[in-house]
Amino acid sequence: MTDAADVAHPGLWTRLSAVLRREIPADSLESFRRAGAGVYGAYLQAEQQRQELAARHVHPWQAPAGTATQLLCTWNALVLQTLGEALLDADYRADPSTVGYLPAVTAEQAWAFFAQVEPWLARARQAAVSPGYRIADDVELPAVLPPWVRVEPCPRPHLDAMLSAARARGTGRGGPGRRGLRR
């Protein structure tokens, strides 16, 4: 991750480089990043619940509807948050001279991910206090990721960012998708 000061207060050279590359400020997306950081605490709570179910030999889909819904919604929020963060971080690594700025296509893609985090967290909170809440009554399942934004020619930093985002969710983090929370 890039130093927050670099992102919040880009220098003259950074701003000039961004203008020359037709990149746009990432300040709104950085606000989304900060606002969505609560997903990590929610995930830790959901993971603790999942472990408690496992200790009682209860599969998450045999758990009460509210618990299963909370696990699913929290996982969806986590995936979307980490994908958005990975896009920003990968672009900053790929092009350090424009930290705090993004190609428009990268910004649009990150926005598509971040914009869905809070609705999924809200559903998870609703499920936590409503034991009978069933997500399938409100949202079509399985939920799909926002479509990948397409642009030709695609900027190399955006390609690198997409690959990094996919790797961030595809390896080594575990979670419900790897433990059978799919029907």
pLDDT in tens, 54-110: 999 999 888 999 999 999 999 999 999 999 998 999 888 888 888 888 988 999 999
The one-character DSSP state at 25 is E
The pTM score is 0.80
- Work out how many domains the chain is built from and give that number: 1
State the virtual CA torsion across 38, 139, 151, 31 in degrees, nearest 10.
Answer: -20
Write down the pLDDT at residue 19: 56
Say if residue 177's pLDDT is above 70.
Answer: no
The one-character DSSP state at 139 is S
The mean pLDDT of 120-130, rounded to a whole number, is 95
State the virtual CA torsion across 64, 172, 167, 118 in degrees, nearest 10.
Answer: 30
Which residues constitute the domain of residue 174? 4-179
Spatial contact of 18 and 96, defined as CB atoms under 8 Å apart: no
Say if residue 170's pLDDT is above 80.
Answer: no
Confidence of residue 178 (pLDDT cuts 50, 70, 90): very low
Write down the pLDDT at residue 95: 81
Say if residue 173's pLDDT is above 60.
Answer: no
